[in-house]
Structure 1
């Protein structure tokens, strides 16, 4: 059942509920407590006031009340890089997006997102210069609202000063649990657009997958878990991994592995001596890094010798796929990421999981597209340009 069908059914149920209340609710409503009556009256008054001014108020992930226009037709998504894909999943369109971050565009142009939502290519990226928002150029886009990373307090202050409604989306409020962070974003979009049925369906899918994977991996002993290293951002001689307090920890632990960088926090810089000490069994390279597994297998990266690392010797180096967005942070393909990682980290336990079919079914259900085997190969083998690294 598609999201849109769910919405229609939800609307029908709501209509029936209203009719039932009008037919049978006379005496029952009269017996409601005074407190409830006062609360309802107050809420109705506030709703009426907002309706009369053409606005409505939501609470974002910073805890701030944000007054939004009743109709949102021009959206800028700034520092929350994966959100364009989640927005497209939720809204079923990118028509309202007038601006996104250049890094988001680099991912979009080299992913499947632009095939399903080609209008994303029309979004402006020039309002971000050297990684910073140029407020004058952003204002020129005439946004009704800006979606940004809730952790970026300076950015929020800039929007407040400019009088632009800004909604903060948090990456950390669920302790870097990727599925719950994804759920947080979907829930907030549901609040913004008043589409809770859509939000609930998407959230339920992610949580169901997490429970499915955890039911298997939670029983694995540490002795049967491989040591895993994530090369989060590796370019120009700098190696950054994913330690605790970041998404890699959740992915690895939930999929049945041990994060070799768990004693470090965030996205710390490491060197080859540290890699040799850890000697990981499996290495994953994100799409924030331009390197491919062959670069490690062929030992072609200047200054770094990977030839004696166990994961390289055993050909256990994998590039994260690139579907609707880079498969590392929470994004619209998050449930698929967890399944894919489980098949790589614990292949024997998930040997019956057909990832090709899983991806095809998910894309059919949520994006209404039928993937070919050629499409799958592109998702599995993302180009280096998707990193956005020049």
Structure 2
């Protein structure tokens, strides 16, 4: 079943919109086990975690109920497709932090949100000011696919959009099952070594073991060459040379980082991924595809096509168009899909012609 079928099924059930939930009170436990009580589906939400703003939009079908979001998250979307899909994001407040994820409590009190989403795994210093100010707060914890699924469930519940949340979760389940049917049996010796370069400057950093990045690579039939290190640990070029990755994935957090950056660097010249031109900038759609998001199933399909084109024949461009219609109510044009897939940036990369 496609994502379209999941959303049609929800619509047929008459429960796709928040109106079906009425104004009934909502109660749940956040990801730290703290009780959250709302008198009705949230109308003015603030999202401090960067991925949460675009996820909320996808669950709500618009930006109407997003009152504030992290400035860096807005920076990622303002020049991209999400801002084009939802011009109302230009009016969303971004002055809600002091630095990093430290909340600007004075501003938030002026805004009077009915729910503030905040990181729950970075220490109580980020939560206590909100709690002490009497602001309704829900904690999110980052990392695994299970945690991402809980984000979707809780945020959908808070908006009265449980059906949209369930449609997203079923889509994730279906895509993962389809990929695993082809990749679970692949032995380690046939899995290409993949390096997700989480930072290039000022120091090289790689995604370690037990991360969402490793889960993505393993799911798609690859082998995370940096599985032995801690997440985001600094590495050097000698270590990367020893790992000898067959594929290198470049993060979206450094806009100036492109495959050409590595191709032009003589230090990387002897690395197999560079020699074979298998360095790829990860796509960017409604949100970055490398961290977990509402668009992860599209990322898994993209990555599986790169690693094992002999096993998959996803019509990825069609899938993007359908998914954006359901997630955002928007039909992207061919040039917009080109931009999502970074066709210009990845031009000349091995196998990338399949995405045209």
Provide the TM-score with structure 1 as the length reference. 0.80
- Asked if 1:271 is matched to 2:236, the reply is yes
SS state at 1:163 partner: coil
Aligned twin of 2:107: 137
Q: Which of 61, 74, 80 is 1:105 aligned to?
A: 74
Superimposed CA distance per residue, residues 6-28 of structure 1 (whole angstroms, 9 cap, x where no aligned partner): 4453248xxxxxxxxxxxxxxxx
The answer on whether the counterparts of 2:6 and 2:171 sit within 8 Å (CA) in structure 1 is no
CA distance change for structure 1 residues 2 and 140 in 2, over 3 Å: closer, same or farther? farther
8 Å contact kept, 1:209–1:335: yes
1:148-174 Cα deviation digits (max 9, x unpaired) = 1221332121211010011112224xx
Work out which of the residue numbers 156, 164, 181 in structure 1 matches 2:147: 181
Structure 2 partner of 1:373: 334
Counterparts of 1:3 and 1:135 in 2: how far apart (Å)?
39
1:347-368 alpha-carbon deviations (Å, 9 max, x no partner): 2222x22221221222223322
- 1:220-239 matches, within 5 Å, as 220-235=186-201, 237-239=202-204
Runs of 4+ aligned residues of structure 1 deviating over 4 Å after TM superposition are 1-8
Q: Name the SS for the 2:138 alignment partner.
A: strand
What's the offset of the Cα at 1:247? 1.3
Distance 2:10 2:270 in 1: 55
Distance 1:305 1:138, change over 3 A: farther
Say if 1:2 and 1:366, in contact at 8 Å, map to a contact too: no
Residue in structure 2 matched with residue 210 of structure 1 by the alignment:
176
- What is the number of residues matched between the two proteins? 333
After superposition, residues 286-325 of structure 1 pair within 5 angstroms as 286-290=251-255, 291-299=257-265, 305-325=267-287
1:88-118 CA-to-partner distances (Å, cap 9, x unmatched) read 1110011121211122112111331111112
- Determine if contact 1:286/1:320 at 8 Å carries over to the other structure: yes
Cα distance, 1:140–1:11 mapped onto 2, change above 3 Å: same
8 Å contact kept, 1:69–1:144: no
Unaligned stretches of 5+ residues in structure 2: 16-22, 346-356
Quick check: 1:6–1:198 contact (8 Å CA) kept in 2? Answer: no
Aligned residue in 2 for 1:159: 130
* Alignment CA distance shift 1:219-1:2 (3 Å): closer
Residue in structure 2 matching 1:10, options 7, 13, 20: 13
Alpha-carbon distance in structure 2 between the residues aligned to 1:259 and 1:183: 23
Structure that is richer in helix per residue: 1
Q: 1:104 to 1:265 in 2, by over 3 A?
A: same
1:72 corresponds to? 42
Determine if the alignment matches structure 1 residue 332 to structure 2 residue 297: no
Q: Is the 8 A contact 2:7 2:167 kept in 1?
A: no
**Bigger Cα Rg:** 1
Segments of structure 1 that go 5 or more residues without pairing to the other structure are 13-50, 385-390
Change (3 A) 1:343 1:104: same
C-alpha RMSD of the superposition: 2.3
